[in-house]
Amino acid sequence: MFTWLTNLFDRATIRLGAARSPQWREVRNKFIKEHPLCAVCGTKKKLEAHHVRPYHEFPALELDESNLIVLCREHHFLFGHFLSWFSHNPDVVSDSKIWYDKIKGRS
Ligand SMILES: [Zn+2]
Protein backbone atom coordinates (compact mmCIF):
# COMPACT_ATOMS: atom_id res chain seq x y z
CA MET A 1 0.00 0.00 0.00
CA PHE A 2 2.75 2.45 0.86
CA THR A 3 4.51 1.79 -2.42
CA TRP A 4 1.30 2.84 -4.08
CA LEU A 5 1.20 5.97 -1.90
CA THR A 6 4.82 6.76 -2.64
CA ASN A 7 4.12 6.47 -6.34
CA LEU A 8 1.11 8.72 -5.95
CA PHE A 9 3.31 11.22 -4.12
CA ASP A 10 5.87 11.12 -6.92
CA ARG A 11 3.13 11.80 -9.45
CA ALA A 12 1.80 14.64 -7.29
CA THR A 13 5.33 16.03 -7.14
CA ILE A 14 5.56 16.03 -10.89
CA ARG A 15 2.19 17.74 -11.10
CA LEU A 16 3.36 20.39 -8.65
CA GLY A 17 6.35 21.00 -10.88
CA ALA A 18 9.08 20.50 -8.31
CA ALA A 19 11.59 17.93 -9.46
CA ARG A 20 13.93 16.48 -6.87
CA SER A 21 17.51 17.64 -6.75
CA PRO A 22 20.10 15.06 -7.86
CA GLN A 23 21.61 15.44 -4.36
CA TRP A 24 18.35 14.68 -2.54
CA ARG A 25 18.88 10.93 -2.15
CA GLU A 26 22.35 11.42 -0.69
CA VAL A 27 21.22 14.18 1.71
CA ARG A 28 18.22 12.11 2.78
CA ASN A 29 20.29 8.97 3.41
CA LYS A 30 22.92 10.90 5.38
CA PHE A 31 20.26 12.66 7.47
CA ILE A 32 18.50 9.40 8.30
CA LYS A 33 21.82 7.80 9.23
CA GLU A 34 22.52 10.69 11.60
CA HIS A 35 18.94 10.63 13.01
CA PRO A 36 18.13 6.92 13.05
CA LEU A 37 14.82 7.07 14.96
CA CYS A 38 11.30 8.15 14.06
CA ALA A 39 10.69 11.46 15.83
CA VAL A 40 7.21 10.27 16.84
CA CYS A 41 7.52 6.62 17.86
CA GLY A 42 11.26 5.98 18.02
CA THR A 43 11.29 3.05 15.64
CA LYS A 44 14.34 2.41 13.50
CA LYS A 45 12.31 0.78 10.74
CA LYS A 46 11.09 2.23 7.44
CA LEU A 47 12.50 5.70 8.08
CA GLU A 48 11.91 8.62 5.77
CA ALA A 49 13.11 12.23 5.75
CA HIS A 50 10.22 14.68 5.77
CA HIS A 51 10.44 18.31 4.72
CA VAL A 52 9.01 20.47 7.52
CA ARG A 53 8.31 23.19 5.00
CA PRO A 54 7.18 21.42 1.84
CA TYR A 55 9.83 21.48 -0.81
CA HIS A 56 7.40 22.29 -3.62
CA GLU A 57 6.68 25.58 -1.80
CA PHE A 58 10.23 26.11 -0.52
CA PRO A 59 12.50 24.54 -3.13
CA ALA A 60 15.54 26.39 -1.76
CA LEU A 61 15.14 24.35 1.46
CA GLU A 62 15.04 20.97 -0.23
CA LEU A 63 18.56 20.03 0.86
CA ASP A 64 18.61 22.11 4.06
CA GLU A 65 18.93 19.69 6.96
CA SER A 66 17.33 22.22 9.31
CA ASN A 67 14.15 21.72 7.29
CA LEU A 68 14.13 17.93 7.73
CA ILE A 69 12.73 15.57 10.32
CA VAL A 70 12.97 11.78 10.33
CA LEU A 71 9.68 9.92 10.58
CA CYS A 72 8.76 6.31 9.98
CA ARG A 73 6.64 5.69 6.92
CA GLU A 74 3.37 5.57 8.87
CA HIS A 75 4.08 8.72 10.89
CA HIS A 76 5.36 10.55 7.83
CA PHE A 77 1.93 10.15 6.29
CA LEU A 78 -0.01 10.83 9.51
CA PHE A 79 2.01 13.55 11.29
CA GLY A 80 3.73 15.03 8.26
CA HIS A 81 0.79 15.02 5.88
CA PHE A 82 -2.46 14.51 7.86
CA LEU A 83 -3.18 11.36 5.83
CA SER A 84 -3.07 13.23 2.51
CA TRP A 85 0.05 13.76 0.44
CA PHE A 86 -1.50 17.02 -0.70
CA SER A 87 -1.45 18.40 2.87
CA HIS A 88 1.36 19.15 5.26
CA ASN A 89 1.57 19.75 8.99
CA PRO A 90 3.37 23.03 9.78
CA ASP A 91 3.66 21.88 13.42
CA VAL A 92 5.22 18.51 12.65
CA VAL A 93 8.29 19.17 14.82
CA SER A 94 6.37 20.17 17.96
CA ASP A 95 3.63 17.56 17.37
CA SER A 96 6.27 14.85 16.98
CA LYS A 97 7.95 15.88 20.24
CA ILE A 98 4.65 15.84 22.14
CA TRP A 99 3.77 12.35 20.88
CA TYR A 100 7.31 11.03 21.30
CA ASP A 101 7.17 12.01 24.98
CA LYS A 102 3.68 10.51 25.38
CA ILE A 103 4.75 7.23 23.77
CA LYS A 104 8.01 7.13 25.70
CA GLY A 105 6.13 7.66 28.97
CA ARG A 106 3.41 5.10 28.34
CA SER A 107 2.90 2.43 30.97
ZN1 LIG B 1 6.97 6.45 13.78
Q: How many CA atoms lie within 13 A of 42 on its CB side?
A: 10
> What separation in Å is there between the alpha carbon of 48 and the centre of ligand 1?
10
In angstroms, what is the span from residue 14 Cα to ligand 1's centroid?
27
pLDDT at 11 (0 to 100): 47
In DSSP notation, 61-107 reads GTT-GGGEEEEEHHHIIIIIHTT-TT---TTHHHHHHHHHHHHHT--
**Rounded CA gap, 29 and 32, in Å?**
5
DSSP 60: G
How do residues 54-107 score in pLDDT, each as one tens digit?
988 999 999 999 999 999 999 999 999 999 999 999 999 999 999 999 999 998
Residue 56: predicted pLDDT: 87
The pLDDT tens digits for 20-53 are: 899 999 999 999 999 999 999 999 999 999 999 9
Would you state the pLDDT for residue 67? 98
Ligand 1 center–CA 39 separation, angstroms: 7
pLDDT, greater one: 5 or 98: 98
* Span from the CA of 100 to the centroid of ligand 1 (angstroms): 9
How far is the centre of ligand 1, averaged over its atoms, from the C-alpha of 9 (Å)? Answer: 19
Q: Is the dihedral of CA 72, 87, 63, 4 positive or negative?
A: positive
Q: How far does residue 22's CA lie from ligand 1's centre (Å)?
A: 27
> Could you give the CA distance from residue 12 to residue 17 in angstroms, rounded to a whole number?
9
Name the DSSP class of 54. -
Query: What is the Å distance from ligand 1's center to 31 Cα?
Result: 16
| Ligand 1 centroid from CA 85, angstroms | 17
